[in-house]
């Protein structure tokens, strides 16, 4: 139920795309969606993306699948007396080193059931509306993950790259969720330990390799538990959504206006479900389906990455520099060629020239390829990286893609994205698998969903089995009865949040309007479609939602 990262830290991870279709930086400093975090982190959420056909039929099927799950219950409208001090906060804004932005800290209770038991300090950043025109309030943004820094996103992209007319009328605001980036970040492993973790063989061939993978998951989980034993029990999406209501009040807004990408759609939908009467203009781009259990989420996301890979494969063989096949080579054969390359790396990693001595392993190469599936603008870079690795024994290009996905810097340090990703995912849903034997029994289904990525993504979904904190969430529907119109956006060949999820969420939300982008890549707003952008801008600026079922290309 979230946007999770795919590779290997959590079972599902969804993140917003990092590069725009025009080639510019889109969402980052990198944030995410929620799949598993690479292939250890890379295991993403999976679902087959629907590129055509009857939206009504698909939505009806999704609604039927969700019928047996309970609906998220709205909280009482009055603010409980114990929480009143939090709602009365007045942020002390100060400069924060980025021109045009100011920052503050807002407190929230660590445990909403025991508000007197301690606080969490939430980092908030904003860029005030520039005018002209009447100010419309605050527009909170979240790029996904879970674990992506919203502050990094607003400072590097949304606060300067959103349409000028939107930035003129709204204060652009971001809150790093509890446990993320500047808001008391969860830390699990240091740089060298993460290097070892990301190179662990994620497609074990025998008992020894299986034991090695399980040991890696245990080490990761124990590191997180040792770092933040109390906080780790309180980083759920529901708690983060409640934090957003405190921030809304602190900003002086009667209603929350919000644009969430990837996992950010689950966060925004959760807010609407808890506080429907305080829900303003919500855009949920690259939507998640909260009604699915973790195993099905991962399986469907696996199919989503296969859909994206086949689109890449069809494009690749039309290019003169495709190392996976020539013109006329079928997507299936391209996949077989890539899989054969991965198997060669499993036996013999190739040099990368890395200062820390890392070689390109099967796990790192797979993560690099998956990273490029998020945006078709990265396909040329992927072709070049594969050519260097396959024909010149140089794995540096794929290592660059993998490091970007993991947010590893040049000095060997990692952001806390993967740590927070696992912390939220493993708390929000019971684990997809409880043991290696369960993974093995499910391998045929995952490999059918994706012959290229299925095996690795299935094993990546095992990570939450060893988490030190039991899950507090369960699959559920979100109806948000009484909320203002909510725009749900789906891309037909989205790798990380399959299109069916957008249909499913739109089918659950009582006031949803489904907006479809017929194309490739993860998320749609601000990525090159004038139809999508103008439709969302009209909604944000004038409160005019699109007709339900509108399609753009």
Whether residue 26 is predicted with pLDDT greater than 80 in this model: the reply is: no
Check if 494 is active-site. Answer: yes
Q: Which residues pair with 127 in a beta bridge?
A: 172
**Structure tokens given for 541:** 């600026």
The tens digit of pLDDT for each residue in 291-325 reads: 999 999 999 999 999 999 999 999 999 999 999 99
> What is the rounded average pLDDT for all residues in the chain?
90
pLDDT bin (cut points 50, 70, 90) of residue 66 is low
The tens digit of pLDDT for each residue in 368-381 reads: 999 999 999 999 99
The whole-angstrom separation of Cα 424 and Cα 80 is: 26
pLDDT bin (cut points 50, 70, 90) of residue 68 is confident
**What is the SS3 assignment for 310?**
helix
pLDDT bin (cut points 50, 70, 90) of residue 228 is confident
Check if 262 is active-site. Answer: yes
Please give the model's pTM, rounded to 2 decimal places.
Answer: 0.91
pLDDT at 288: 97
350 DSSP assignment: B
CB 144 within 8 A of CB 180: no
Which residue in the list 262, 291, 311, 529 is annotated as catalytic?
262
Whether residue 1 is predicted with pLDDT greater than 50 in this model: the reply is: no
Which residue in the list 26, 234, 476, 522 is annotated as catalytic?
522
The set of residues, in sequence order, having a beta carbon less than 8 Å from that of 414 and lying 6+ positions away, is 189, 191, 194, 406, 407, 408
End-to-end CA distance of the chain: 27
Report the sign of the C-alpha dihedral through residues 321, 322, 325, 326, in that order.
Answer: negative
Average pLDDT over residues 480-486: 98
Whether residue 3 is predicted with pLDDT greater than 70 in this model: the reply is: no
In percent, the amount of the chain with pLDDT more than 70 equals: 88
In percent, the amount of the chain with pLDDT more than 90 equals: 87
Which residue in the list 201, 285, 494, 520 is annotated as catalytic?
494
The whole-angstrom separation of Cα 117 and Cα 265 is: 30
CB 476 within 8 A of CB 450: no
The set of residues, in sequence order, having a beta carbon less than 8 Å from that of 374 and lying 6+ positions away, is 15, 17, 18, 495, 496, 521, 522
The tens digit of pLDDT for each residue in 523-545 reads: 999 999 999 999 999 999 999 99
Check if 68 is active-site. Answer: no
The set of residues, in sequence order, having a beta carbon less than 8 Å from that of 73 and lying 6+ positions away, is 273
Residue 140: phi and psi, rounded to 5, are -80, 145
pLDDT at 17: 37
Average pLDDT over residues 459-478: 97
Whether residue 57 is predicted with pLDDT greater than 60 in this model: the reply is: no
The tens digit of pLDDT for each residue in 87-121 reads: 999 999 999 999 999 999 999 999 999 999 999 99
pLDDT at 47: 26
pLDDT bin (cut points 50, 70, 90) of residue 69 is confident
């Amino acid at each position: 139920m979230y946007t999770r990262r795919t590779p290997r830290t959590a079972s599902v991870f969804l993140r917003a795309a990092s590069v725009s279709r025009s080639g510019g930086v889109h969402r980052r400093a990198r944030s995410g969606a929620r799949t598993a975090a690479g292939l250890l982190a890379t295991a993403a959420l999976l679902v087959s993306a629907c590129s055509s056909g009857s939206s009504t039929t698909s939505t009806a099927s999704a609604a039927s699948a969700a019928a047996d799950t309970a609906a998220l219950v709205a909280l009482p409208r009055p603010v409980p007396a114990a929480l009143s001090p939090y709602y009365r906060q007045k942020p002390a804004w100060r400069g924060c080193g980025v021109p045009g932005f100011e920052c503050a800290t807002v407190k929230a209770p660590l445990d909403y059931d025991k508000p007197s038991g301690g606080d969490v300090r939430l980092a908030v950043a904003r860029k005030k509306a520039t005018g002209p025109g009447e100010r419309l309030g605050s527009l909170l943004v979240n790029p996904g993950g879970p674990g992506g820094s919203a502050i990094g996103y607003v400072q590097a992209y949304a606060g300067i790259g959103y349409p000028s007319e939107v930035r003129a009328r709204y204060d652009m605001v971001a809150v790093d969720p509890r446990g993320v980036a500047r808001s008391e970040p969860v830390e699990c492993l240091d740089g060298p330990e993460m290097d070892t973790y990301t190179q662990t063989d994620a497609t074990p061939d025998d008992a020894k390799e299986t034991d090695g993978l399980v040991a890696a998951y245990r080490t990761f989980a124990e590191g997180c538990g040792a770092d933040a034993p109390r906080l780790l029990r309180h980083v759920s999406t529901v708690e983060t959504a409640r934090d957003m209501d405190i921030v809304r009040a602190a900003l002086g807004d009667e209603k929350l206006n919000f644009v969430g990408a990837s996992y950010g759609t689950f966060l925004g939908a959760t807010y609407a479900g808890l506080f429907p009467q305080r829900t303003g203009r919500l855009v949920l781009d690259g939507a998640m389906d909260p009604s699915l259990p973790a195993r099905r989420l991962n399986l469907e996301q696996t199919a989503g990455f296969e859909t994206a890979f086949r689109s890449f494969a069809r494009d690749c063989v039309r290019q003169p520099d495709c190392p996976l096949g020539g013109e006329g080579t079928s997507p299936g054969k391209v996949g077989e060629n890539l899989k054969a390359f991965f198997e060669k790396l499993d036996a013999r990693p190739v040099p990368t020239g890395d200062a820390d001595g890392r070689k390109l392993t099967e796990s790192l190469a797979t993560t690099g390829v998956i990273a490029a599936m998020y945006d078709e603008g990265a396909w040329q870079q992927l072709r070049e990286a594969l050519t260097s690795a396959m024909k010149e024994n140089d794995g540096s290009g794929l290592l660059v893609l993998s490091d970007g996905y993991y947010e590893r810097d040049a000095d060997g340090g990692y952001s806390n994205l993967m740590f927070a990703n696992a912390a939220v995912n493993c708390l929000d849903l019971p684990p997809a698998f409880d043991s290696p034997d369960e993974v093995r029994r499910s391998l045929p289904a995952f490999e059918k969903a994706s012959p290229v990525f299925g095996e690795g993504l299935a094993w990546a979904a095992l990570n939450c089995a060893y988490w030190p904190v039991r899950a507090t969430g369960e699959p559920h529907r979100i109806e948000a009865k009484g909320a203002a119109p909510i725009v749900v956006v789906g891309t037909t060949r989205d790798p990380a949040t399959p299109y069916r999820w957008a249909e499913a969420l739109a089918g659950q939300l009582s006031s949803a309007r489904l907006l479809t982008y017929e194309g490739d890549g993860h998320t749609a707003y601000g990525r090159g479609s004038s139809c999508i952008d103008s439709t969302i801008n009209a909604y944000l600026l004038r409160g005019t939602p699109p007709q339900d079922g509108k399609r753009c290309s």
